[in-house]
Amino acid sequence: MQPIHVIGGGLAGSEAAWQIANRDVPVVLHEMRPNRTTAAHKTGGLAELVCSNSFRSDDREHNAVGLLHEEMRRLGSLVMRAGDANQVPAGGALAVDREAFSQAVTETLTSHPLVEIDRGEITALPLASWDSVIVATGPLTSAPLAAAIRAATGEDALAFFDAIAPIVHRDSIDMSAAWFQSRYDRTGPGGTGADYINCPLDRPQYEAFLDALLASDRVSFHEWETSTPYFDGCLPIEVMADRGRETLRFGPMKPVGLTDPHRPGVKPHAVVQLRQDNRLGTLFNMVGFQTKLKHAEQVRIFRMIPGLERAEFARLGGLHRNTFLNSPQLLDGTLRLKAMPQLRFAGQITGCEGYVESAAIGLLAGRFAAAERRGETPDLPPLTTAHGALLAHITGGHMETIDAGPRSFQPMNVNFGLFPPLDKSPSRRTDGERLRGAAKAMAKRRALTARALHDLDCWTGGCVMMEAAQAAALVPTPEIAPSAESHPR
Ligand SMILES: Cc1cc2nc3c(=O)[nH]c(=O)nc-3n(C[C@H](O)[C@H](O)[C@H](O)COP(=O)(O)OP(=O)(O)OC[C@H]3O[C@@H](n4cnc5c(N)ncnc54)[C@H](O)[C@@H]3O)c2cc1C
């Protein structure tokens, strides 16, 4: 059997290679690091996490990315296996020791007999003898390949900005001002309820911090960058500050769900949270504090935060440009380039956003390519699953603007807005009482996630067994029936 070629050994490419090899199809994974690197990667390891070490919420019942975690686990994901095995405490989130995680992925793929790892940069597309290729080169695709993709797709690369948050040495944080606590004392996977370091600001301190941010010296843009928009989920703090004096207090500096044990009777006006970044617990990242301030300005302004007056920074924040395709126009339902079907795309370059989403799209691309190679028809996940909803957003769910303005497709984290509505939303508790407000919203989320996992199990063949077991009254009937809305199989 001819191998499938996967270009890019990041989150998506590593997961794709794993899925292919586990379907008994040989795969060559091409990764240019460490010979050539990007502006954000630091190592030669596969699946390197370039910024935060968090896979975000692991709540599979009420959170769309938590649901995506669970679906990936059920689909045999390598990224989730390595993430679960290397988690560090992070409240309700799944955060990982980034080095151990990358090492686990690298070792697993290196030792797989059907995986060959080629450490070289790919600069052209398509290569003559390669009849099945997955391009998973991510937001920092090297320049020659980006030019080749532009030529193959007939597009200008669309770009936006992501920014990186700073990382602080734990022993430089003054714990007589700061304290450990997770918001609302949530424990989550492997957490204690006290996983974040919190730095409180009173009103004058917050106002002074804001004034410093507003007057700060920022990295200037190149001319070609000035019209590039930000991804809304990753706004630099100074841009948030520009949007209004209260914006940060309702965003990364919100003081809710936290009590300062040093002054229990005084409610902080704002709080900066830091999350453990490595297993040793020696590094903490400033949550939501991505920034494009000049480095000297970051040190000066962040040391105004109580508890961080003597902070030593292991890494300062930074700014990068992202590249992604207009996928709804260019890709078919199984992520193939319509104009060149031997090329498939996966990961962030398709217009999903986030580590987990990139890996999930890699997982699907790997399954689709392997099925094709084996002479089978690729099987699309039901739209009601997180995988199906995300795939549909990328390949066709997005409504293009109707005027002739700039294209409107934007990268998106997985969220419940991408899921088809429930046939019937839950309105009462099991005891008959009417659901209201937050309880109603939570019940709706539970119904969406129960439907997703049921439909996913059916998709993978598991529901035949589940329904047989239900018929034999071995397991309780799920509260929600499967939806009729799903992709054709
Ligand atoms: C600076 C930055 C910060 C980010 N922060 C976060 C965050 O905190 N949380 C989050 O969830 N997401 C974040 N993202 C977004 C996104 O989740 C990550 O970029 C994620 O790694 C994307 O996965 P991927 O597999 O598509 O790309 P990557 O993980 O970047 O993998 C692409 C791989 O392709 C290789 N490559 C590139 N060009 C070539 C070539 N020509 N030949 C061979 N190999 C090549 C690269 O070396 C890299 O290993 C960030 C992105 C960037 C750029």
For ligand 1, is residue 105 a contact (CB within 6 Å)? no
Q: Which of 357, 327, 330, 361 is nearest to 346 (CA)?
A: 361
Average of pLDDT values for 71-88?
98
Q: Mean pLDDT of all residues in the chain?
A: 86
Residue 82 pLDDT greater than 80, yes or no:
yes
Tens-digit pLDDT profile for residues 252-284? 999 999 999 999 999 999 999 998 876 667 778
For atom 27 of ligand 1, the residue with the nearest CA is 138
**373-377, 441-445, 478-482: least confident range:** 478-482
Residues 402-455 have pLDDT tens digits of: 344 444 466 677 888 788 888 888 888 888 888 888 888 899 999 999 999 999
Measured between alpha carbons, how far is 452 from 488 in angstroms, rounded to an integer?
Answer: 16
Q: Which of 213, 17, 33, 11 has its CA nearest to residue 110?
A: 17
Cβ(52) – ligand 1 distance below 6 Å: yes
pLDDT score of 224: 44
401: pLDDT strictly greater than 60: no
Phi and psi of 458, rounded to 5°? Answer: -65, -40
Please give the Cα distance from 202 to 196 (Å, whole number): 19
The verdict on the CB of residue 258 being under 6 Å from ligand 1 is no
Tokens of 175: 């714990």
Per-residue model confidence (pLDDT) at position 36: 95
User: Residue 6: what pLDDT?
Assistant: 98
Are 244 and 65 a contacting pair, CB within 8 Å?
Answer: no
Quick one: pLDDT at residue 486? Answer: 28
Q: Is the pLDDT of residue 179 over 80?
A: yes
Ligand 1 pocket check for 43: Cβ under 6 Å: no
Average pLDDT (125-151) is 89
- Structure confidence at residue 280 (pLDDT): 62
- Whether the per-residue pLDDT at 221 is higher than 70: the answer is no
Give, as one character, the DSSP assignment of residue 51.
Answer: S
Contact 97, 88 (CB under 8 A): yes
Maximum mean pLDDT: which of 78-82, 144-148, 338-342:
78-82
322 Cα: distance to centroid of ligand 1 (angstroms): 9
- Report whether residue 45 contacts ligand 1, using a CB cutoff of 6 Å: no
Residue 335: C-alpha distances to residues 123, 136, 199, 346, 347 (Å):
21, 11, 44, 7, 10
What pTM did the predictor assign?
A: 0.76
Contact 30, 127 (CB under 8 A): no
Place of tokens 């990328």: 394
Region 31-42 average pLDDT: 91
Mean pLDDT calculated for residue range 288-293: 88
- Ligand 1 within 6 A of 38 CB? yes
pLDDT of residue 489: 22
- Count the alpha carbons within 13 Å of 152 in the hemisphere toward its beta carbon: 25
pLDDT at 244: 95
C-alpha angle 318-15-85 in degrees, rounded to nearest 5: 80
Range with the lowest mean pLDDT among 129-133, 165-169, 224-228, 369-373? 224-228
Q: What is the pLDDT of residue 399?
A: 44
Beta-strand ranges (E) seen in 31-184 are 54-57, 87-88, 93-96, 115-118, 133-135, 158-164, 167-169, 179-180
Ligand 1 mutation target, pool 53, 79, 162, 323, most atoms within 8 A of CB: 162
- Predicted pLDDT of residue 327: 87
d(CA 159, CA 326): 11
Which carries the bigger pLDDT value, residue 39 or residue 205? 205
DSSP letters along 220-249, please? PPPGGGTTPPBPGGG--HHHHHHT-TTTGG
